[in-house]
Amino acid sequence: MIGVRRPRAVERGRRMRFLVLGGTQFLGRAIAEHAVGLGHAVTCAARGLSGAVPPGARFVAIDRDRPDGLAGLGRDRFDAAVDVARHPGQVRRALAALEGRVGHWTFVSTTSVYADTVTRGQRAGTAPLLAPAEDGPYGAAKVACERLFGGDALICRAGLIAGPGDPTGRFPYWVARLARGGEVLAPAEPEDPVQLIDGRDLADWIVRAARAGLAGPFDAVGPACTRRAFLERCAAALDASCTTTWVDPAFLDRHGVGRESGPFSLPLPLPDTIGDASRDVSATLAAWLTVRPLEETARDTLHWLKAGNGPVTGLTAAEEAALLAAWHAAERCYTAVPSNGRARRCQASPNGRRR
Ligand SMILES: NC(=O)c1ccc[n+]([C@@H]2O[C@H](COP(=O)([O-])OP(=O)(O)OC[C@H]3O[C@@H](n4cnc5c(N)ncnc54)[C@H](OP(=O)(O)O)[C@@H]3O)[C@@H](O)[C@H]2O)c1
């Protein structure tokens, strides 16, 4: 169901009592910081293991893995609550503990809930979902979490979240790599789509949507651009001088290069599945999502990295150089076939090994 049910605090025009289940890292923290900045009374409830809550927010220690783990929240009431959990058991426990005491719920889900990762231009309201799985992998467990919330909740299916504070090292890989300049190895195809959202824009939208009582499923990600535009725009924003070598993903697979994250990978958002990176977000944009320029996200992420705060995961400079050398050697193995005039790969193309 998609609709608007404004929390009572908004109807009365007073500041909201805002609960973030989480709030000690990246997105949850950004939501809490933004809500504090708007003058709301913000409570962050977590174990406190991942970091500190932002200045101005109240911290309440809870442990969602324990049956009585939310007791620290007492009998407090909230106009709006946001949950970033990944485990249905944690969601179930929170909904039971806070029953009747939250005006509006937002659940931060993911575009990984979708079953079809190939078709372009899918919409949140109609795209088929994975089968829910209580202890399943990430996307299936998020579907199970979503189902626990009622029709009045906002189901915010985030795409790849970027910007300062990103603990995953994925977007920071591309920022750090481009800032270094020179020949950049990128996975083909250059015209494939890329989609991401700055965590600060997502935080702003979640707070505004909660104020308005927005309900139903929405994809929370910016409009798509091409991989080529992504790299060129980021490089220009960082004042970096780069050339791009587009490498066949099959070559990268043969060399053991990871596709999503971690060491020896070319991380998201580039090697993404088409369907995940080309979602039709017109409904979310119509519901007040505002997206800052990619250039700003890239520049701010670089500043954050330079301040020594963030991790970068992916290929090292030496690994990238070795792969580029192997790729160029493989390219030299292409030979012209006089009979039809088309290029053909020779049998003995080099096949490197993951280190
Ligand atoms: N990053 C992306 O690109 C991306 C893409 C799509 C969707 N998403 C979604 O966006 C959200 C990101 O949220 P986030 O950045 O705030 O990071 P997160 O890793 O989801 O944060 C988990 C939060 O829950 C708290 N927590 C974990 N276990 C707990 C427990 N047993 N009891 C109480 N609190 C517990 C953690 O704090 P403590 O450790 O201090 O307890 C932390 O604040 C997630 O829902 C994720 O699925 C992310």
What residues does each domain of the chain span? 3-306
CA of 321 to the centre of ligand 1 (A): 35
Question: What pLDDT sits at residue 296?
Answer: 98
**Structural tokens at position 347:** 């049998």
Task: Give backbone dihedrals phi and psi of 285, rounded to 5 degrees, phi first.
Answer: -65, -35
CA of 28 to the centre of ligand 1 (A): 7
Nearest Cα residue to atom 19 of ligand 1: 25
Fold of 3-306: Rossmann fold (3.40.50)
The whole-number average pLDDT for the span 95-117 is 97
What is the number of the ligand 1 atom nearest to the C-alpha of 63? 32
* 283-333 residue pLDDT tens: 999 999 999 999 999 999 999 999 998 899 999 999 999 999 999 998 876
CA of 115 to the centre of ligand 1 (A): 23
Angle between helix axes 170-180 and 294-306 (nearest 10 degrees) is 80
pTM of the model: 0.92
For the cut 90, the answer to whether the pLDDT of residue 344 exceeds it is no
State the Cα–Cα distance between residues 84 and 107, nearest whole angstrom: 6
* 172-228 residue pLDDT tens: 999 999 999 999 999 999 999 999 999 999 999 999 999 999 999 999 999 999 999
